[in-house]
Chain A
Amino acid sequence: MAVIRVIGIGNLFRGDDAVGLLAARRLRERLDSSVEILEAEGDGLALLDLMEGADQVMLIDAVKSGGHPGTTVRLDLSKESRWGRLVPCSTHAIGIAEAIDLARTLGRLPKQIILYGIEVDSLESGAALSEPVRGGLDSIVEQVLKEIEGIPCTKCI
């Protein structure tokens, strides 16, 4: 059976940077245990270990690409190795982008890996999630749920 893993990334105490973690928590409430939900705080390189053994990984993280706060992006990292203007936010120690690039270099990237990014606004210490990002959070949760539904279920064959 294919191992599907959702990893929410962020920092609870840095304003909008909490959004990835909050998305993971909401998904945990709405998905059964066949999908693994992990939260990653701090060190981005830990992502290498968190992805290990998964066939499909969905990362959810705050990003900055110059767009409006709250807008969401989906990037298929198994196909796309260029980050373009997309900057996964790094109040974490080592960036997510760097961890992904390293995994790719070492041939340790999961078969399928998709980044869901939510454009963020304020990363101020102690701030609450900003209004537009709250909307982005709702939307990203639905998108991930849809994507998971679309994954062929090997159990059902």
Chain B
Amino acid sequence: MTEERRTGPEEVRQTRTIAVGTIARVEGEGALRVTVKDGAVHDVELRIFEPPRFFEAFLVGRHYSEVPDIVARICGICPVAYQMSAVHAIEQIFGLRVEGALRDLRRLLYCGEWIESHALHVYMLQAPDFLGYDSGIAMAKDHPALVTRGLRLKKAGNAIMTLLGGRSVHPVSVKVGGFSRVPGRRELEALTTELLWARDAAADTIRWAATFEYPDFAPDYTYVALRHPDEYPFNEGRLETSNGLSVSVGEFEQHFTEHQVPYSNALQCTFQGMPYLVGPLARVNLNQDRLSPMVREVLADTGLSLPLRNPFHGIIARSVEMLYALEESLRLIQRYVPPPAPALAATVRSGTGTACTEAPRGILYHRYRVDDEGIVREAKIVPPTSQNQGRIEQDLRQFMPRLLNLSNEDASLACERVIRCYDPCISCATHFLRLEIERE
């Protein structure tokens, strides 16, 4: 038995550029181990470092009002998702229902995060795979206009987040019951010109991504996403699966169960004992009738049709959602009339509340128990990446056989490309992966 290691850090030293997640790699925050036995894939283990576990404990004993600021730090890319799941769960305990303009502002804030996160992944993380570059920087040398377009799209999303407050250092911030302050009409309208540009750029992004060459790969997925009676889902809806389940968010833990795997400190989540898929691909497929006419039109022009079954089409799904989120932002801004108060008054009461919202990477479930003084006594967070982890492994198992004749290095790169389709948090590193192939 020989064990071979191909690791990112060596490559980093050779090229002398410091890749993202070098520290992460050293700490083993993202690693893949593949065992090949008698020329066939025997086992696939993906190890992910998962910060929410620490935060679950960290939140206990804190006042409910501190929760939005704390959870905003769990993920650098999706602070809004964590805030949204948290405030909705706590509002459920207090019997608060945020509606009207405040609800619209939250939806708008979430649109901003989707635009920013999707633009980052489409342009900087996944497009280089299709255009044959090893990083967004390498791609920028040959395609500065494309990368600039991606960065400007990302900035358009960020402008919404900055205005509505994704982080506590900002004067405006999310709180239980609403916001600490709400913008005036003019502040929101000032975004319109750039968002109109971004909307057209997002449409162009779909057309561009449709020209890529995609590997022929279509695993049999069970999709899971929120479904709302008349909207594309962000903050509300029932949990629906592609095989017919439709349950309320409160029933999440009865159907989706987390379990420990020995090789990773991330818990894996299964549905009826099987891995499932959350995120843009699942969302567009389960909510295709909630997409806009413009999205449908652009898609039809490209010859692509829903449902999308190839995980590599995640880049299409993200581009589609980026366009949708931009159209939705413009619509929400246009109808905005500032609410009478920035937040509903909250009356503390003890109890347990749950919420599930659609983070850029898929459903994010939170459950909190607070006592009658508003102190958090229990917190549970199920992030999208832990839900997709089992599915990523299954896909790698299915994809690996076609890679067995490649060198470890090439196989590693091909595996990274598969993993990046899911935009797991660890994919923030363009070369995050440490692949170990054990050949017996």
A residues near B (Cβ < 8 Å) are 11-13, 39, 41-46, 48-49, 64, 82-84, 86-95, 97-98, 101-102, 105-106, 123, 125-126
Contact = CB atoms under 8 A, between A and B. Distances in A.
B75 interface: yes
B137 A90 contact: no
A138 to B, nearest CB: 22
A83 B155 contact: no
20 contacts: A13-B55, A41-B76, A42-B75, A42-B76, A45-B120, A83-B17, A87-B22, A90-B20, A91-B24, A95-B18, A95-B19, A97-B18, A97-B20, A98-B17, A102-B136, A105-B137, A105-B144, A106-B147, A123-B27, A125-B51
A39 B135 CA distance: 26
Contacts of A91: 23-24
B169 A39 contact: yes
Contacts of A92: 76
B58 interface: yes
Contacts of A83: 16-18
A90 B24 contact: yes
B36 interface: no
B431 to A, nearest CB: 10
B18 A87 contact: yes
Interface of A is mostly: loop
Contact of B77 (A42, A48, A49, A101): A42
Contact of B23 (A39, A45, A86, A123): A123
Interface string B112-133: 0000100010001000000000
A94 B16 contact: no
Nearest to B78: A42
Contacts of A44: 20
B434 interface: no
Contacts of B167: 41
Contacts of B24: 90-91
A11 B73 contact: yes
A94 B151 CA distance: 13
A83 B148 CA distance: 24
Given A42-B77, A90-B23, A97-B20, 19 more contacts: A42-B75, A43-B116, A43-B120, A44-B20, A45-B154, A49-B155, A83-B18, A86-B18, A90-B20, A91-B23, A95-B19, A98-B17, A102-B136, A102-B140, A105-B144, A106-B148, A106-B151, A123-B23, A125-B54
B16 A82 contact: yes
B19 A98 contact: yes
Given A45-B120, A45-B151, A93-B77, A87 B137 contact: no
Given A90-B24, A94-B20, A105-B141, A41 B73 contact: yes
A90 B169 CA distance: 21
B201 interface: no
B428 A93 contact: yes
Interface string B151-185: 10011001000000001010000000000000000
Nearest to B147: A106
Contact of B17 (A90, A97, A125): A97
Contacts of A125: 51, 54, 58
Contacts of A45: 120, 124, 151, 154
A43 B58 contact: no
Nearest to A101: B137
B237 interface: no
B120 A90 contact: no
Contact of A43 (B18, B77, B136, B148): B77
A94 B144 contact: no
B80 to A, nearest CB: 11
B360 interface: no
Contacts of A101: 17, 137
B68 interface: no
